[in-house]
Structure 1
Amino acid sequence: MIHPASIVECDGSDAEIGPFAVVGPEVRLGRGVRIGAHAVVEGRTTLSDGVRIGPNAVVGTEPQDLKYAGEPTELFIGERTVIREFADINRGTAATGRTEIGPDCLVMAYAHVAHDCRIGRGVILANAVNIAGHVEIGEYATIGGVVPVHQFVRIGAYSMIGGGYRVPMDVPPYCLVGGYPLRVASLNTIGLKRRGFSGERLRNLEEAFHLLFRGEGTLAARAGRIVQEERWGEEAKNLARFMLESRRGLVC
């Protein structure tokens, strides 16, 4: 259903669009998309099946980047993702051409996702989180409220960042971080168990965590050992590789 007080310039036959919403001509709407009152969706934006856009959210607008010169860039939002009221998500720039949010994400009220970000499946951005340009967030990561994330930062999968803390460097996967300055507090054990980590899989990751963050020698040597030795599981190797590949420096 398209409310008669909305302005819809694309095919919205399979969507539900509330009063005073504005949807531009280049927008593509999947089945079962719901767009709330006063929301704005514009530019080359794809809302996949089941996406929900809350009232007054602004999605697909031009990037807030002085280098942007009107290039045709995109925003893609995956299936069943929910964008709550007053959230703001920008399209990409010519640098990558695309901002992407994966399926089953929750972007809470007043959050901002800037240009060229890549956000994986099942990520939760709490209220008023501010994600700068070119940030990459791995699947099932959770970022607490009012957290600013510096541009080009990578946030690892299954990590959790406490509310209110500034994120200037890469956050390792599977970790719980917080404090001033930001530090790794522990493995994100509760979050991992909720996602089905258990038994030998979790014990192997715990052992790798203690070696990487509490072991002797350089971090590069400890991480290299985990990558090379066969006894370490996939998650342990992912953690070690992430740390070796960091360019901005690591939250440790």
Structure 2
Amino acid sequence: MIQPLAYIHPQAKIADNVVIEPFVTINKNVEIGEGTWIGPNVTIMDGARIGKNCRIFPGAVISAIPQDLKFAGEETTAEIGDNTTIRECVTINRGTKDKWKTVVGKNCLIQAYCHIAHDCEVGDNCIFSNSTTLAGHITIGDYVVLAGLVAIHQFCKVGSHAFITGGSLVRKDVPPYVKAAREPLSYVGINSVGLRRRGYSSEQINEIQDIYRTLFVKKYNIGTALDIIEAEHQPTEIRDEILDFIRNSNRGIMKGFSGA
């Protein structure tokens, strides 16, 4: 169902059963999957690739050109996965020649007034609370929860299953499975509640706690802590994911537990 007060470029590719409400603008180089709902006053610009069964609420702007002075008009995309909800006044910019695309995964909830800048890669099943802001070139893993008013510095990475508390300024990488809070941003424990909800066993949760106790609580430097973890913990998918994340961190990881 397409309302007559919406503008849709004749070359846009709109699948079956898409609902487009009044005063929507959809530009030429756009693709929208089956069953998606586009609310009133949404603007969808060139390069948007929107999946199936998404919901996009009033005032959102999808695939606007990057807010990057180096952008030279190259043809790039902003890709939204299936079953993702984008609430009011969210802005998602398309990529630059760095990665050629901005990606938001499947089954995500991006709440009102969030901004996702160019060349960001957001995993599946993420929740970004109101007014969360991602600068350019940020990588977010699966099942990440960002509380309200989180601001993340460009080129940072956040590992899967991490939780970052509201109002946080993220200047360093946040490893998987942790909770992060305080200023400057610091480790405050593992995301045990989220892990239990997603079916992680007690043994897996204890393994994660033991690894991060060595890394963040026992006051070793990072190199020593990684050597101890590798020596004392049997290889598992979880252990190796944590070690690989930290070893491949370009910005360095957040502070350890301060006890304050």
The two structures share one fold, judged by TM-score above 0.5? yes
Q: Give me the CA root mean square deviation.
A: 1.4
Q: 1:23 aligns with which of 22, 26, 33?
A: 26
Counterpart Cα distance in 2 of 1:162 and 1:21: 34
Flag structure 2 segments of 5+ consecutive residues without an equivalent: 256-260
Deviation above 6 Å: which 4+ runs of structure 1? none
Q: How many residues align?
A: 252
The alignment-based identity, stated in percent, is: 36
Give, in whole Å, the separation in 2 of the partners of 1:45 and 1:105. Answer: 17
2: CA distance, partners of 1:49 / 1:105: 13
How many Å apart are 1:227 and its aligned residue?
A: 4.0
Aligned equivalents of 1:173 and 1:121: distance in 2? 14
Q: Which secondary structure state, in structure 1, belongs to the residue aligned with residue 170 of structure 2?
A: coil
Residues 70-121 of structure 1: per-residue CA shift (max 9 Å, x gap): 1101111111011101000000001111101110111100000000000001
Distance in 1, matches of 2:14 and 2:230, equals 49
Q: Deviations over 1:40-96 (max 9, x none)?
A: 001111101111111110001100000001110111111101110100000000111
1:117-132 paired onto structure 2 within 5 Å = 117-132=120-135
Q: Can you give the 5+ residue segments of structure 1 that lack an aligned partner in the other structure?
A: none
Displacement of 1:249 in angstroms is 1.6
In the TM superposition, 1:82-121 aligns within 5 A as 82-121=85-124
Using the TM superposition, name which of 181-190 and 107-116 deviates more. 181-190
Does the 8 A contact of 1:201 with 1:233 survive in 2? no
Is 1:247 paired with 2:250?
yes
Identify which of 39, 44, 65 aligns with 1:41: 44
TM-score, length-normalised on structure 2?
0.93
**Contact 2:126 2:142 (C-alpha < 8 Å) held by counterparts:** yes
1:12 and 2:14 matched: yes
Residue 71 of structure 2 corresponds to which residue in structure 1? 68
Alignment partner, residue 2 of structure 1: 2
Corresponding residue of 2:183: 180
Distance, in Å, in 2 between the alignment partners of 1:176 and 1:11 is 41
| 2:207 counterpart of 1:204 | yes
In 1, Cα distance between equivalents of 2:134 and 2:73: 22
Quick one: distance in 2 between partners of 1:55 and 1:85?
Answer: 5
Which residue is 1:148 aligned to? 151
Counterpart of 1:194 (choices 193, 197, 222) is: 197
Contact 1:220 1:244 in 2 (8 A): no
The TM-score, its normalising length taken from structure 1, stands at 0.96
